[in-house]
A = this chain, B = another copy of it.
Amino acid sequence: MPAFPQRAVIREVGLRDGLQSIRTIVPTERKIEWIGDAYAAGQREIEAGSFVPARLLPQLADTAELVAYAKTLPGLFVSVLVPNLKGAERAIETQADLMLVPLSASRAHSLANLRKTPEEVVDEVARMRAARDAAGSKTMIEGGIGTAFGCTIQGRVDHADVLRYMQALLDAGADRVSIADTVGYAGPAAVRALFEKARDIAGERFWCGHFHDTRGLALANVYAALETGVARFDATLAGIGGCPHAPGASGNASSEDLAFMLADMGIDTGIDIPALLTLRAKLAQWLDGETLHGALALAGLPVTYETITAIEA
């Protein structure tokens, strides 16, 4: 049986992928409280927002301010999503630690959502890399390949397409690559197969999996990915977010459920789960009326939880 990583990172993307699909606009001071509390609970990688025009995503208009605050927290690795060169220039200006550039492996989804072909996104990444290097910036570039397990528009997406775009992103100057199940089509056998091939191509530069829980498989997918050696996962507190193509369905992998699964597996995330659950309760108040997800908050930690952590320590 394959070994599991000893440590794993839960990258909190609730402030971006979660809030962008929620009606409620969360005030900047609340978001700062969220980042501060997540940091206090041990989270060390947070996606603060997205550098897209404020008219498109008013919920994320305060991204620069959030990056500035997050950068004051020692050891916090701060990422942002950027759709194009203009966004990348803002990420470089704000000294974000990483900018994530989405590419859709489904051509149909790429044209519908990004209004670019996947090849045009690869070209844009080359321009971002040039801009980054010219500025003497340390902001890393991550190419995030979405709709990697299928797409509601195009249907089937071949692994060969995903891997070809992964190689192209690396060739264009991406420092890191990741794979996202944008619409919740991934199952664990497909994850294991695709992630193994991706590791063969990109090695340690393939570093993150992004799963939605649309059909209840997010945590099974994480488990399958862990067996391939991948040890970084996007997740959102209370599983907020979700797929506009599947109304009523679950959102992202829930940070707290994922933290519990990893702790139970003896994999160190550095996260204080009770503190994270306290933050989740705050978030539930801030998002009053929105649909939240995640099983742990309902069930509570097992009575054996202290034993689990005692064994690890």
Q: Which of the candidate stretches A42-50, A200-208, A259-267 sits at the interface with the other chain?
A: A259-267
Instruction: Answer yes or no: A185 CB below 8 A from chain B CBs.
Output: yes
Instruction: Answer yes or no: A159 CB below 8 A from chain B CBs.
Output: no
Instruction: Answer yes or no: A300 CB below 8 A from chain B CBs.
Output: yes
Most buried by B among A183, A214, A215: A215
Copies in the complex: 2
With both chains docked as a complex, state the minimum distance between the C-beta of A223 and any C-beta of chain B, in angstroms: 5
Give the total of A residues in contact with B, Cβ under 8 Å: 49
Contact: A250 with B295, CB < 8 Å?
yes
Partner of A260, one of B192, B215, B250, B266: B215
Residues of A within 8 A of B (CB): 1-2, 4, 150, 152, 155-156, 183-185, 187-190, 192, 196, 213-217, 219-220, 222-224, 227, 243, 246, 248-250, 254, 257, 260-261, 264-266, 294-296, 298-300, 302-304, 307
Contact: B296 with A216, CB < 8 Å?
yes
Taking A215-B261, A246-B300 as known contacts, 12 extra A-B pairs with beta carbons closer than 8 A to each other, sorted by chain A number, are A150-B303, A155-B304, A184-B302, A187-B260, A187-B264, A188-B265, A214-B295, A216-B257, A217-B261, A248-B299, A249-B298, A249-B299
Report the separation of the CA atoms of residues A214 and B298 in the bound assembly, to the nearest whole angstrom.
Answer: 8
CB-CB < 8 A to A196: which residues of B? 1
Contact: B184 with A266, CB < 8 Å?
no
With A223-B220, A261-B188 as contacts: A155 and B307 at CB distance below 8 Å: yes
Which residue of chain B has its CB nearest to the CB of A263? B187
With both chains docked as a complex, state the minimum distance between the C-beta of A141 and any C-beta of chain B, in angstroms: 31
Contact: B219 with A185, CB < 8 Å?
no
Which residue of chain B has its CB nearest to the CB of A152? B303
With both chains docked as a complex, state the minimum distance between the C-beta of A84 and any C-beta of chain B, in angstroms: 29
With A220-B220, A223-B220 as contacts: A187 and B261 at CB distance below 8 Å: yes
With A215-B296, A216-B254, A298-B248 as contacts: A156 and B307 at CB distance below 8 Å: yes
Q: Which 9 A-B pairs have the closest CB atoms?
A: A187-B264, A216-B295, A189-B265, A249-B299, A220-B220, A246-B299, A219-B220, A216-B257, A150-B304
Which residue of chain B has its CB nearest to the CB of A301? B215
CB-CB < 8 A to A300: which residues of B? 246
Report the separation of the CA atoms of residues A192 and B4 in the bound assembly, to the nearest whole angstrom.
Answer: 12
